[in-house]
Structure 1
Amino acid sequence: MSEPTIHIGDRRVACFGELLLRLSPPTGELLLQSPALKVHVGGAEANVACSLALLGHPTTMVSTLPDSMLGRACVGELRRYGVDMDVQYASGRMGLYFLTPGAMQRASDVLYDRAGSAFATAPAASYDWPRLLAHAGWLHLSGITLAVSDASAHAALAAARAASDAGIPVSFDCNIRERLWARRFSEAPALMREMVAHANVLFGNDRDIALMLGHRFSQDQAIDRFAAAADAAFTEWPRLRRMASTARVHHSADHQEARGLCASRDGLITTDAHELKGIVDRIGTGDAFAAGLLHRLFEGAADRDALAFAMAAFCLKHSVGGDASPFRAADVDAFVTSRGFDVRR
């Protein structure tokens, strides 16, 4: 029996999480090697919202931002992508992160500066989820919101419970960031288990499932570990219908290979490996993958077609800077149907 298709009609996709600013040095430099920083608006859930909006879906970003020019600039940036904003403004600071991009054999490095932000300190009770989800046909969340603070974790879980109670499907991207969890990392397994219990689509890999279930997957091949982890996830969480991820092989910071993986209760499908050489920016690639998969599932595509589109969106995002993918469906479809590099005229 095949997995049910997903139909949300013209209802909105709601995404909940923190909008923040990413600051990074000029290309090829370390942080503060010279007194200049490039700024991008980012955030895992916001990246998904931007991609889905460009792919043609009515999308709403729910968040809390500081009542400042920085907060309002972030709202303007997402609106530029076509995302509707349902934001509350509060006192507090803007969440930041500093990215030093890797090169050759030097890995990228992230420094978080998000403690005490307006989003992190917003009480869970400040979000009226029945109102915020009134026109939603889907809710997207990530583990980053669980990691930011106790308050944001409680708010995300309240959103997932409200969606479940209203019959609204939920997608959850594990997005485990140990540095962001910091001293709260011991709380991560229980909080994530509770969140996945509400999820219909899970973006995660065998390491994420191992953390949540306390069971190590020791198969030699990445695909086999993913398949075993998916089986364990489907057994643990009855609501879960699909689990998807990418599997990378690293040759250097800017030369990698990756393939897409998607498991359902019917079995496992994969894509061919894609070579990623001369990577411009890896940040946001997983979010482009998630948005691509959801986009095609919303259109009623078969899982194999949805995975191929998701992987194309993932690959394309490596070619541009910034957190959110700027590509529309036609751009991704062109990648799926042709690997050529002729100018499209």
Structure 2
Amino acid sequence: MKQVVTFGEIMMRLSPPLHYRMSQASSLDVTYGGGDANVGAALAHLGVPAAHVGCFPDNAVGQAAAQHFRGHGVDMRHCVFRGERLGLYFLEVGASLRASRIVYDRYDSAFANLQPEWFKWDEILKDAQWLHWTGITPAISASAAQATREAIAAARRRGLTVSADVNYRRNLWQYGQRAQDVMPELVAGCDLVVCTEGDAEDLFGIKPEAGAENSFVSMSEQLMARFPNIRQVIATRRATQSASHERIKGLAYAEGHYHETGFFDINPVVDRIGGGDAFISGFIYGRLHLPTVPEALTFATAASALKHTISGDINVVTPAEVHHIVAGNTTGRLLR
């Protein structure tokens, strides 16, 4: 099987142990993650060959971040090691009524300062069948946006499937270009997008039609009309009960048909970070291995639900474990 290739920034994550507040912490737990790379790592655990492309500082911290993903089975040979700084984020994990909080420290990272010519996309993608990116990547810098543009163009030349989680984060777009000016060209090269009604309005000015029976279908139809390459739109719906209790279901619009799953109930939530990445990686796996969109959607939503029970950014689950949940085995009984 050919690879799924992801492109984006990897950061160091620092968290107080035991649900401590930052003000209580005398130590911080270290792991690494990034929206795009988390997808690749989750796919590797699902048995799908995955490679990640990024830029790390040329020092021991950069090597440690890359090694973390190699340890999850991700091919990192196309990564570049230049620059001095790895982006950081600090996560204070909430509980019950107290929400989790994140503080980012990613300015002037090695990835933000990458040069597009460092990445020879036709060579990188020669063993690939799929390219995945997120809206975080072109938000980081003009050069990262240009590299994303070139990756998508190469993927389309080579006939790869291209997917994106549009993931609009308003505060990231700080380098003088608006997301509304950059993202449409990039999304135009996609076959599959993760996009909510809110993201569609913020990025593309698309609103569900007044009186529409289903706002997600209305948005998806308009998105596909605007960007004819798009064949599938997916998203999750959340019914958050507290920081420790979440309910999620999956939505999809594909080939003129709407699909949704039932809710998966997660209580207690161990770690919310990476839940969306687990969803799209599960859907990619499903489209590669399962016969129908509804089956892929159910697999993806179950994978995301499982991620909420796992510490760290990466969904460390096997296909058998996801299928076990899909089959209704959600009581958490001891497996021997």
TM (norm. structure 2) is 0.95
Structure 2 gaps of 5+ residues are none
Partner residue of 2:151? 159
Which structure 2 residues correspond to residues 1-345 of structure 1 after superposition, within 5 A?
Answer: 10-85=1-76, 86-182=78-174, 184=176, 187-217=178-208, 224-337=214-327, 338-345=329-336
- Relative distance call for 1:319 and 1:218 in structure 2 (3 A) is farther
- Relative distance call for 1:194 and 1:75 in structure 2 (3 A) is same
Tell me if structure 2 keeps the 8 A contact 1:160–1:170.
yes
Q: Distance in 2 between matches of 1:220 and 1:333?
A: 37
| Aligned amino acid, residue 25 of structure 2 | S
Q: Deviations over 1:3-22 (max 9, x none)?
A: xxxxxxx2111111111111
Q: Deviations over 1:241-272 (max 9, x none)?
A: 10111001122122222110011132110001
SS of equivalent residue, structure 2 residue 18: coil
| Aligned amino acid, residue 308 of structure 1 | T
Tell me if structure 2 keeps the 8 A contact 1:11–1:137.
yes
Q: Distance in 2 between matches of 1:34 and 1:218?
A: 49
Offset of residue 275 of structure 1? 1.7
Q: Across the two proteins, how many residue pairs are aligned to each other? A: 334
Q: Distance in 1 between matches of 2:94 and 2:171?
A: 18
TM (norm. structure 1) is 0.92
Partner residue of 1:6? none
Superposition CA RMSD, Å: 1.7
Q: Distance in 1 between matches of 2:13 and 2:171?
A: 16
Q: Distance in 1 between matches of 2:27 and 2:169?
A: 26
SS of equivalent residue, structure 2 residue 273: coil
SS of equivalent residue, structure 2 residue 179: helix
Q: Deviations over 1:264-321 (max 9, x none)?
A: 1321100011222211100001101100010010124200100110011000000011
Q: Distance in 1 between matches of 2:61 and 2:100?
A: 26
SS of equivalent residue, structure 1 residue 312: helix
Offset of residue 219 of structure 1? 6.7
SS of equivalent residue, structure 1 residue 342: coil
SS of equivalent residue, structure 1 residue 81: coil
| Aligned amino acid, residue 253 of structure 2 | A
Offset of residue 127 of structure 1? 1.1
SS of equivalent residue, structure 1 residue 250: coil
Identity, in percent, stands at 35
Structure 1 gaps of 5+ residues are 1-9
More displaced, 91-100 or 212-221?
Answer: 212-221
Q: Distance in 2 between matches of 1:139 and 1:251?
A: 35
More displaced, 174-183 or 332-341?
Answer: 174-183
